[in-house]
Chain A
Amino acid sequence: MIINGVAIDATFAEAFPMKATRAIITAQNEKWAMISAQAMTGFATSVIACGCEAGIERVLDPSETPDGRPGVSVMIFAMGGKGLAKQLETRAGQCVLTSPTSALFAGIESDKKIPLGKNLRYFGDGFQVSKLIDGKRYWRIPVMDGEFLAEATTGQVDAVGGGNFLVLAKSQPQALAACEAAIEAMRKIPNVIMPFPGGVVRSGSKVGSKYKALGASTNDAFCPTLKGMTRTDLSPEVESVMEIVIDGLTKEDIDKAMRVGIQAVCDLGAENGITRISAGNYGGKLGPFHFHLQEIMA
């Protein structure tokens, strides 16, 4: 399959089941809601070492938030519910509770609830106040700038993590420009995050390493500087490869995000140095969710 001169590999991305949650951060203005959200979703690119994958889903209009202030919705993904709950609570406590003027609300409904402000209330040292409004419990925690308002719990849902595609280009600037275009388009899709810096990964990994201590190492088949010294997957003209990783609430959400992302890359086309779109997988044996590139773009 070739779109606008860009070859779409007959391969697939392989993804895994994860647990996910969403929280809504509001603040006096969008600037401070965003600062808090960035702090909360920081150091959360990969579950391998961060414990979770997190990202900003989108900016919310005041009419969309529970307290009528500007807000940001963030999503957190982890391999299990226990880990997710721990990450959510730690991040909420260190990054949102501490952030000036912030408030924190549940962003997703589910029968399975995990603590949001439920345990943060103890920071109030007995001065915290509970309010049950329309069946939802909120905690008012006195802090130095006034009160931190946090909903007691948020929902936990089954989700999918690790959707991805690779952008192969004739130069590094061209690969990056294509990925930026893809991320801009993908950020408009709800229910997905791209957890890596700016949504883009330049250090895609393969399973295993020559060093016993490491479970993953550089994806040498896609490293352009190794073209002459390893079993490369790159043609001679490819000088740079970048990857976009997507976590989403459902397979369909990731499908949609991959489609618009790949389309945005293909719109730049061969004339902007883009040669191929590929994807990372483990032979289909590890993850139950397979995203076939050519099916997605059909």
Chain B
Amino acid sequence: MSALTFSLIHRPDQRVDMSPLVCHLLKDMEPAQIAAIELQSGKRKIRVDELFKVSGSDTQQIVIENSFGKLDFIGKELDGGSIKVEGDAGAYLGLGMKSGEISVMGNAGIYAACEMKKGFVTIAGDAGDFLGAALPGNKMGMKGGTVLVKGNVGERAGDHMRRGNILIEGNAGDYCGSRMTAGTIAVMGKTGRNLGYAMRRGTLLLWNQPVLPASFNDCGAHTLAFLPILFTSFRKLNSKFADASVAFNRVQRYAGDMSEIGRGEVLIKIG
């Protein structure tokens, strides 16, 4: 069976809610039924076959071709299966995802992987603000799984994050790890201002020296035993993180945010 492929015919002016096109909702549906699904676009509803040329039949492997940045909610609450986005993804990619895999060949918009529970998201390009964060007003962001971004990410990555890994090969914007409750954010590139703002617990793992807020205290240089295990878990990724030469276990440890409970940590590679 070939992958169920949605090839975008034309780019609509309004944003499109792609949330009905997820593996678990399409399971056991006939091609005609899938083609007749109506997607919300602005104040209109558009049939799938008006927007996409549909081919293939394996509903557990979805490919979205010619995708662009107005296709929102791709993989919303995905529960198993895989979605491959050829092009950019809009906002709320993998919102509340429960399991499965999403890969984006281009960039992703704001709130990618927000409130994600489990699974794996790869973004080959950049990700917008609030990566792995909580929706506005909610208190719990990403609760599990792994997000890998090969480019840069916007501001507030991991805001209110509770569990899981966010791996960023590029740079992270301001307020990275803000209000984090737990979990790990690893940034190979540079980080912006107000790193770890109001973080309670969790780990920010950095390759480069950041500008730390005054509310982080130096705990000294340490060799930490859990780091080799963490890096070993990255080996299976198609990423710079899998490269043994980027791994380290010697870090400068800063604890914070002391304006909060201060149980979080920023670990910065030494040497």
B233: chain A residues at CB < 8 Å are: 133-134
A30 at the interface (CB under 8 A from B): no
B184: chain A residues at CB < 8 Å are: 131
- For the complex formed, measure the closest distance between the CB of A192 and the CB atoms of chain B, giving whole angstroms: 28
B182 at the interface (CB under 8 A from A): yes
Smallest Cβ-Cβ distance to B236: which chain A residue? A134
> Within the complex, which residue of B144, B163, B226, B228 is in contact with A140, where a contact is CB–CB below 8 Å?
B226
> In the complex, how many residues of chain A place their beta carbon closer than 8 angstroms to a beta carbon of chain B?
18
Q: Is there an interface contact between A67 and B263, defined as CB atoms closer than 8 Å? A: no
| A66–B163 alpha-carbon span in the complex (Å) | 22
A32 at the interface (CB under 8 A from B): no
Smallest Cβ-Cβ distance to A140: which chain B residue? B226
A129 at the interface (CB under 8 A from B): yes
> Within the complex, which residue of A126, A127, A131, A134 is in contact with B226, where a contact is CB–CB below 8 Å?
A131
- For the complex formed, measure the closest distance between the CB of B261 and the CB atoms of chain A, giving whole angstroms: 9
| A177–B222 alpha-carbon span in the complex (Å) | 48
Q: Is there an interface contact between B225 and A103, defined as CB atoms closer than 8 Å? A: yes
Q: Is there an interface contact between B228 and A131, defined as CB atoms closer than 8 Å? A: no
Residue-wise, chain B 215-240 has the 8 Å CB interface mask toward A (1 for contact) of 00000001111101110110000000
B201: chain A residues at CB < 8 Å are: 129
- For the complex formed, measure the closest distance between the CB of A220 and the CB atoms of chain B, giving whole angstroms: 52
Given A129-B201, A132-B163, A146-B223, A138:B265 Cβ within 8 A: no
| A140–B182 alpha-carbon span in the complex (Å) | 14
A69: chain B residues at CB < 8 Å are: 225
> Within the complex, which residue of A130, A132, A149 is in contact with B225, where a contact is CB–CB below 8 Å?
A149
- Interface members, chain A 120-151 (any B CB < 8 Å): 126-127, 129-134, 138, 140, 146-147, 149
Q: Is there an interface contact between B225 and A147, defined as CB atoms closer than 8 Å? A: yes
- For the complex formed, measure the closest distance between the CB of A123 and the CB atoms of chain B, giving whole angstroms: 16
A131: chain B residues at CB < 8 Å are: 184, 203, 226, 230
B228: chain A residues at CB < 8 Å are: 67-68
Q: Is there an interface contact between A67 and B265, defined as CB atoms closer than 8 Å? A: no
Residue-wise, chain B 117-145 has the 8 Å CB interface mask toward A (1 for contact) of 00000000000000000000000000010
Q: For the side of the interface on B, what is the size category?
A: 10 to 19
Q: Is there an interface contact between A149 and B226, defined as CB atoms closer than 8 Å? A: yes
B203: chain A residues at CB < 8 Å are: 129, 131
Q: Is there an interface contact between B229 and A133, defined as CB atoms closer than 8 Å? A: yes
Q: Is there an interface contact between A140 and B229, defined as CB atoms closer than 8 Å? A: no
A149: chain B residues at CB < 8 Å are: 225-226, 229
| A127–B265 alpha-carbon span in the complex (Å) | 11
Interface centre among A127, A131, A140 (most CB of B within 10 A): A131
Interface centre among B144, B203, B222, B229 (most CB of A within 10 A): B229
Given A129-B201, A131-B184, A131-B230, A140:B263 Cβ within 8 A: no
A129: chain B residues at CB < 8 Å are: 201, 203, 263, 265
| A134–B164 alpha-carbon span in the complex (Å) | 10
B222: chain A residues at CB < 8 Å are: 146-147
15 A–B contacts from the bound complex (CB under 8 Å): A66-B232, A68-B228, A68-B232, A103-B225, A130-B182, A132-B144, A132-B164, A133-B229, A140-B224, A146-B222, A146-B223, A147-B224, A147-B226, A149-B225, A149-B229
Given A129-B203, A140-B225, A149-B225, 5 new contacts (CB under 8 A): A67-B228, A67-B229, A129-B265, A131-B203, A133-B226
Q: Which residues of A contact B (CB under 8 A)?
A: 66-69, 103, 126-127, 129-134, 138, 140, 146-147, 149
